[in-house]
Amino acid sequence: MKRSLSIIIIVLILDQALKVWIKTNMYLGQEFQVIGNWFIIHFTENNGMAFGLELAGQWGKLFLTLFRILAVGLIIWILHRLISIGANKGYISSISLILAGAIGNIIDSVFYGVVFNESTFQKATLFPEGGGYSGMFYGKVVDMFYFPMIHGHFPNWFPIWGGEDFIFFRPVFNIADSAITIGIFLIILFYRKHFDMELKKEPEPVVDGIKEE
């Protein structure tokens, strides 16, 4: 339990601290280079899912935010279940990373529209006098990590994108997205066998504070 809570708290603190710094020190679209042309801090916002994917419209945005909240509730139940049955610690840590990332982006979606004003052509203010840029549940997720490591050109014969330029890796993301991705990859690489097996276990019965053998 302590390891899981530590992971969640650390990820959330880092994620939110960086997002608040970005919002209050940069305007939308501003960027600066960290390492050459392939690691850039680029301030952008999105209405939707990880790596800039989104559902269109206000209803799409509301649906996605509510879906995230329900998903977090499910992950919390799974995590509690895994801890109660004494599941593999690495597996629990991976689920904790996914949960922390999901909560991090939910905070943006639920509260940022209320506590920040618009970032277009200006640095946002925390708790502005005139109110935020949107209502509760309609906040935008703050992204900043951009790794355009490879620039290239699709050959003319290539389907759909023939003749167009391409950049790898194009999506802009944040610490919460990274935590979710790392957690999923750890499960796929090392803990696939635990995915169903652990949840099917029954907690060991406890009699007078002592587990039955």
Give catalytic residue positions: 143, 177
Q: Are the beta carbons of 183 and 163 closer than 8 angstroms?
A: no
H/E stretch holding 165: strand 165-168
Distance between first and last Cα of the chain? 23
Q: Are the beta carbons of 145 and 41 closer than 8 angstroms?
A: yes
In 10 A of CB 144, how many CB atoms?
A: 21
Q: How far apart are CA 152 and CA 131, in angstroms?
A: 44
